[in-house]
Amino acid sequence: MSTTDRQNRLLLAEDWKTIYQSFRYADFQSYDFDNLRRTMITYIRENYPEDFNDYIESSEYLALIDLIAFLGQNLAFRTDLNARENFIETADRRESILRLARLISYNANRNIPANGLLKIESVSTTEDVVDANNNNLSNQSIIWNDPTNSDWYEQFIKIMNAALPANSTFGRPIKKAIVNGVTTEQYRFSANNTGLPIYSFTKNIDDTSRKFEIVSTNIDTDTTTIYEEEPFPGNKLAFLYRDNGQGAGSSNSGFFMHFRQGSIQENTFSILNPVPNTTVNIDSDNINNSDVWLYKLDSNGNEEALWQKVESTEGNNIVYNSVTKGVRDLYSVLSRVSDRISLVFSDGTFGTLPKGDFKVYYRISANAQFNINPADMTGIQIQVPYISKNNSAETLNIVLELQSVVSNADQSETNESIQTNAPSTYYTQNRLITGEDYNIGPLGVSQQIIKTKSVNRTSSGISRYYDLRDATGKYSNTLMFGDDGSIFTEELTNKFSFNFVSKTDIEAVINNRVLEIIKNTQTKNFYYKNFSRNASIVDLNYTWNATTNETNQSSGLFQDQFSIPVAVSSFTATTMKFVAAGSLVKFTPPAGYHYDKNNKLVLGEVSALGDKEYIWTKIISVYENGTIGNVDSTLGPIILNDEVPSTSKLSEIIPVLNNTIVNDTLSQMVDQAFAFKTFGLRYDVETTNWKVITNRILIQPVYLILEKLEMLLAQIKMLVGFSYLKLMVKNIQ
């Protein structure tokens, strides 16, 4: 090919055929160094064979080819990298993914802090507090549900009331709601702190020292959730009282405080010349996903007004949000790299432009996934300064413990999760209508939601008045009629076997297997069916005198036919000793009356739907001997978990069935099993304890037999276990 012909082909830019012919042998799919080098050498050999034929490695021309190949690879890599970072599906850099997600109004979730409730296990005060027995409780530690102190409840409440305002003592909560089926009340200490009501402590979790904070606790009565109050200097510490109806020994009954993992931080900034969509960056790492609060400061630098946080200040959200129309102090929080945040304000049309001094509170958390076991958080001590009712400065000492495993800590949303959830969430267009929307939408709410499954049950065009029936009962209610049904009870024999080598193995089986049998519903049903219900109590004509009657709660006392209060629990040796926290009692109406569906007394016979002839209820708590109420409370001495009207007659009592085994009994069981002896368990209603029996002459109505210990010799290894665990119920003959 002549030089003139070749130049003509290259320079005739107006002729596309010539340009195409000029590059027809070029390989534009070579991007790496080796391919670029090979392609250029091949091109030279084919197009310039007469001009260059020196291809040895020491050639200067090959050095230039190597340099060009290196630059080509570098440019190709960076071009490809930039192109990849422009698409959310292929982007690798965290910042690129976050920015691309925000283009479709998706804000990635930051880390979630571990949080839960700590139970107050003991309290003491520097104030002179006197109980009913004239004992001074100053500087004395009172333990919740202390078995060695019969007056623990009164003393505990006395100390707590000493630190509460006079108009908000125990029984007069600030807020009250049913949270996850548990009655929850909010109280607030009469504290004199000037700073934030936050108490910090450190615990080792999985061999890592982590910071935690006890915070002021609030209840959302609309959503029935527990959450942290907004941090505000001088705010008095709030806490909760919870009662699940299972007595003081329950891990979910008592006084609680909310804790969160991390440490609270603050940052102040000023905006002198506001512009629409002002953005303020907070450059601290690992700011968690929920704990951000913004205050407008007054001229003295004090918090003046709390601004409302919304999901977004752009698009539809600033206009169509759940905030009251008159609230215009709005902002949103955007997630950035390393869980930093940006505060984004509105455009001035649908919200106020920020101007002046501001303070933002935020919490830095661990950004890790871990579990907190109850054993990891014990003996947590805080001191709450308060003003007594005598206007003296006192200190309340509190010891707290964790009651159940906390496993809600989580890391920031991963890049892969954002790349999947952002387009899917955008597809739903911020609405949940179809089954597919419900499959996709919740995934972007929290990184702890892994998968959802929803199925369309109806669709557009089908009248809402048309009743769709699914015969399988999977998607709609199914009504089935018959006249040959029957309800029956059946006694079953449960058995299991196990091998043990040491006493520790036996103790583990008792704690993990035997206790589960004692706690299960079948054992309770056997107990309720076969045990004496003390029906003779009806002959004593004891009636209920209600002090207060509320929804699902009644307080008062029992009285005899002469209107004299009747002592209960451990304060009497009569059948009324079985009236204690956790026991079940049956009430019947006076002669000629019945109960309606609301547990009100109605004259006449049962006639309407919901009417009944008796009420079964549970004893929630008993104050002292059950005859005199606590002077610091408006409630009666005995609290029931259902509304019971006055003059209702006490008919039956089912004593408490204790589902725990005391240490002495546990030791005896281990010794008996380790000695290969046949033994059983009996339930002593007098002491509400399980006890060991060493023969088959059983004197209690309910017992468990651990029967037939067998030794199995297998070659040189001896395996010893229970052949089976048999559950039997008998009555005294």
The verdict on residue 99 lying in a domain is no
Phi, psi of 112 (to 5 degrees): -110, 125
Predicted pLDDT of residue 129: 93
* Short-list 561, 522, 531, 526, CA closest to 545: 561
Predicted pLDDT of residue 484: 76
What's the rounded mean pLDDT across residues 157-184? 93
Predicted pLDDT of residue 480: 66
pLDDT digits (tens, 9 = 90+) for 269-281: 999 998 988 999 9
The verdict on residue 550 lying in a domain is yes
- Considering its fold, how many domains does the chain have in total? 5
Residues 521 and 539 grouped into a single domain = no
Percent of the chain with pLDDT over 90: 45
Higher pLDDT, 624 or 719: 624
Q: Is the pLDDT of residue 731 over 70?
A: no
Residues 325 and 237 grouped into a single domain = no
Ranges 75-84, 102-111, 289-298: which has the least confidence: 75-84
Give CA–CA dist 75/282, Å, rounded.
Answer: 35
Give CA–CA dist 422/555, Å, rounded.
Answer: 54
524 in the Ramachandran plot: left (φ > 0), alpha (ψ -120 to 50) or beta? Answer: alpha
**CA angle (196, 284, 382) in 5-degree steps:** 30
Residues 643 and 719 grouped into a single domain = no
Q: Is the pLDDT of residue 317 over 60?
A: no
Give CA–CA dist 112/288, Å, rounded.
Answer: 6
Residues 665 and 650 grouped into a single domain = no
Choose the final residue of a domain: 364, 386, 420. Answer: 364
Contact of 263 with 287, CB cutoff 8 Å: no
Predicted pLDDT of residue 457: 63
Residues 379 and 356 grouped into a single domain = no
DSSP sequence for 462-517: S-TTS----TTSSSS------S----------------BSSHHHHHHHIIIIIHHH
Confidence at 400, pLDDT banded by 50, 70, 90 = very high
Q: What is the token pair recorded at 466?
A: 């048309």
Q: Specify which of 27-36, 83-92, 641-650 reaches the highest per-range mean pLDDT.
A: 641-650
Residues 68 and 18 grouped into a single domain = yes
The verdict on residue 460 lying in a domain is no
Percent of the chain with pLDDT over 70: 85
| Residues 6+ positions from 667 with CB-CB distance below 8 Å | none
pLDDT digits (tens, 9 = 90+) for 659-686: 889 989 999 889 888 888 888 888 888 8
Predicted pLDDT of residue 456: 67
The verdict on residue 495 lying in a domain is no
Give CA–CA dist 640/621, Å, rounded.
Answer: 7
* Range 129-152 burial, b when 16+ CB lie within 10 A, else e: bebeeeeebeeeebebbbeeeebb
pLDDT digits (tens, 9 = 90+) for 37-60: 888 888 888 877 777 777 777 777
Choose the final residue of a domain: 402, 420, 454. Answer: 402
Within the chain, how many helices (H) and strands (E) appear?
Answer: 12, 32
Confidence at 245, pLDDT banded by 50, 70, 90 = confident
Q: Is the pLDDT of residue 489 over 70?
A: yes
Give CA–CA dist 462/457, Å, rounded.
Answer: 11
* Short-list 350, 396, 482, CA closest to 129: 396
Q: Is the pLDDT of residue 9 over 60?
A: no
The verdict on residue 691 lying in a domain is yes
The verdict on residue 102 lying in a domain is no
pLDDT digits (tens, 9 = 90+) for 420-464: 888 888 877 777 777 777 777 787 777 778 778 777 666 555 555
| pTM higher than the cut 0.75 | no
H or E stretch covering 439: helix 435-440
Q: Is the pLDDT of residue 724 over 60?
A: no
Residues 398 and 358 grouped into a single domain = no
Q: DSSP H helical segments within 150-190, as ranges?
A: 152-162
Which amino acid type is present at position 175? K
The verdict on residue 590 lying in a domain is yes
Q: What is the token pair recorded at 557?
A: 């006392």
Predicted pLDDT of residue 680: 85
Instruction: Name residue, tokens 């004299």.
Output: 564
Residues 231 and 143 grouped into a single domain = yes
* Range 443-479 burial, b when 16+ CB lie within 10 A, else e: bbeebeeeeeeeeeeeeeeeeeeeeeeeeeeeeeeee
Q: Is the pLDDT of residue 523 over 80?
A: yes
Question: Is residue 211 classed exposed, middle or buried when 0-12, 13-18 and 19+ CB atoms within 10 A define those classes?
Answer: middle
Residues 136 and 241 grouped into a single domain = yes
Can you give the residue range of the structural domain that contains 55?
A: 3-84
Residues 295 and 381 grouped into a single domain = no
| Count of residues making up the chain | 733
Mean of per-residue pLDDT scores for the chain: 83
* Short-list 168, 175, 170, 181, CA closest to 120: 170
Residues 25 and 79 grouped into a single domain = yes
| Residues 6+ positions from 67 with CB-CB distance below 8 Å | none
Residues 571 and 634 grouped into a single domain = yes
The verdict on residue 629 lying in a domain is yes
pLDDT digits (tens, 9 = 90+) for 325-338: 678 888 999 999 99
Give CA–CA dist 415/428, Å, rounded.
Answer: 20
